[in-house]
Amino acid sequence: MAGGSAVDGGGATTAEARGQALYAATGVDCIQCHNRPETLRRDAVDATMLANRIAAAIAMNTGRMGDPQYGYAALTRAQLMDLAAYLVSLAPVAPVPDAGPSGDGGTGSTVVQCTSTGSSSFRTEVVATGLTSPWGMAFLPDQRILVTQKPGTMVLLSADAGTRTTLSWSVPAPDIISAGQGGLLDVALDPAFATNPLVYFTYSEPGPNGSSGAAVGRARLQGTSLVDFQRVFQQTPKLSFSEIHFGSRLAFRSDGTLFASFGDRSYDDASRATMGFAQNVANTVGKIIRIFPDGGIPPNNPFRNQAGAAPEVWSLGHRNPQGLTFDGPTSTLWSTEHGPQGGDELNVILPRANYAWPLRSYGCPYGTNPPSNTCRYGGGAHLPVNGLTFTEPVTFWAPTSIAPSNVLVYRGAGFPNWNGHLFVGGLGGRLWRIELTPAGAFASCEALVLNERIRDVRQGPDGWIWVLTDSGSIRRLVL
């Protein structure tokens, strides 16, 4: 297999034909394990996604796919793409898995789905435009605005956004790989920034053999430069053939410890769920972690003393958590998380809690049309399975995804009636306002239409709500 000449498709000119030759050369009958041709997709919507699934199975030796005698481990990325194209051609319809043990399609859940009600009045003001793929922002004590741009730069805007400066990296600089959903991502300031001007940020970095992973770095803001860079944490393991699901957000807790969220890198497949990634506490894939600002491990972390566990893990079972914030008045850590097709979640993050991915989800396989309660992974409701217990979301969105970005707990004076409400940015063009009961349970939600892909949401020093958009603008909501 490794030589390629015997399995290069014999002169075939289409990806499907080359893939068919590869499939025949291995002598492996995938249908023997998958039972039906239509399940070969493993919920992938295209050849690229299926190639990622196959690569993950090889890496984890799922179904012995990594065994040398089968030759799959020796396939190049191009060959994997051809093979995936052939398998997708055999399975034109994505599978709809059966409901889980509840058998009720998730209707046994007590979680209330977010369905928009209300029609609040507000205006939006454009503060800045012309940013390049902005991802995260933070307000300095002097009200200047620091913005990350996914290609790998940070921009510092004046308080009125009238001037902007692209900051330079001193040597050493972070090794940022900007591809797919990766690049320079979130940003957070040291809690004592006025006297200790450290800037923390998440980014994707390359690893060996074409792999990549998320990391947390910090650097000191000195004039118009970022100096004294340190990588304080790196996600493990680094994974190949995936440029998506990095997470990632940062949030400082009032005790000075730092939380960071990391996605499953699309290596978890809910249609054939394994315990290898988001459910495996030995790694930091699909996890939220807690560290000291210098990368050290707090002694009271929940898995610190568990043999074989990564000591920085705080919670597990996450798919792609791109929102994270700590609310000081209630000492609550909030997160938002992308589901598959539907099933986006708002969660309270608790130590050692398991949020069920990929074993349970209120979302459905991609391509399900029309989606319904009966197609939800594992039945939807986060019921126990195989001795594992799970934490339900505070609320969720279905059947259509909102593609949640960051989350804010509003504590400003600009909108006094919204004090304590949560705001969830949506890449689907809406900012979601969520009201809680006095006990902290979901009460209601409202979609505020902005018609922009909202990448970040923050409370400004002026008391208004600020959003960062994929179109390169900063806007604020005002009355």
Cis status of the peptide bond prior to 172, with omega within 30 of 0: yes
Peptide bond into 134 cis (omega under 30): no
Cis status of the peptide bond prior to 68, with omega within 30 of 0: no
Q: Take residue 118 and report the two structure tokens written for it.
A: 């209300």
Cα–Cα dist 73/57, whole Å: 10
The values of phi and psi at residue 370, to 5°, are: -85, 150
Helix axes 15-26, 77-90, angle to 10 degrees: 100
Q: CA geometry: angle at 351 spanning 336 and 257, to 5°?
A: 85
Rg (CA), the chain: 23
Cis peptide before 321 (omega within 30 of 0): no
Query: How crowded is the C-beta side of 78, counted as CA atoms within 13 Å?
Result: 7
Please classify residue 139 by burial: count the beta carbons closer than 10 Å to its beta carbon, then call 0-12 exposed, 13-18 middle and 19+ buried: middle
Report CA 311 to chain centroid distance, whole Å: 21
Looking at the annotation, which residues are catalytic?
A: 245
Peptide bond into 340 cis (omega under 30): no
Tokens of 381: 């409701």
Closest listed residue to residue 363, CA positions, set 113, 93, 49: 113
User: DSSP readout, 90-137?
Assistant: H--S---PPP-TT-STTTT--PEE---------EEEEEE---SSEEEE
Distance (Å, rounded) from C-alpha 372 to C-alpha 158? 48
CB 81 within 8 A of CB 15: yes
CB half-sphere exposure, 32, CA atoms < 13 A:
5
CA distance 62 to 70: 13
Q: Are 109 and 376 in contact (CB under 8 A)?
A: no
